[in-house]
Amino acid sequence: MLGRLNHVALAVPDIAAASTHYRETLGAKVTEPQALPEHGVTVVFIDVGNTKIELLEPLGENSTIRPFLEKNPAGGMHHVCYEVDDIIAARDHLKASGARVLGDGEPRIGAHGKPVLFLHPKDFFGTLVELEQV
């Protein structure tokens, strides 16, 4: 079921400053910011060859990552994203295994234009897990 690591997401208080830091300090290729109002975030991706780093900045007062940044004002790791071939089959298997799917349990379209789901961090050792169908 579990495919490759698609990305590691870092919540940041200032996506422009974080992008500049990755670009100038590490020589990284950074995409242009993309606003995702349906997810309450602005994102950029950094290609690191075998996977990506996703930088997340809150978009709007009701952003789901705002509380994370209130607890971690400098930012930090927010979630990991794994690829799956069939997100519905993965969801059904996980639910049958006792894992909690966040939200209404139905996939939403993520930053890559593909269906995604999030799994409760308490079911994965304190780590928020995103699944993305490839």
Burial of 27 (C-beta count, 10 Å sphere; 0-12/13-18/19+): exposed
Burial 112-132 (b: 16+ CB within 10 A, else e): beebbbbbeeeeeeeebbbbb
How far apart (Å, rounded) are the C-alpha atoms in residues 134 and 128?
Answer: 19
Whether 83 is catalytic is no
- For residue 95, the cross-strand partners are none
Q: Which residue among 54, 83, 130, 132 is the active-site one?
A: 130
Pair of tokens at residue 126 = 């304190």
- Catalytic positions: 130
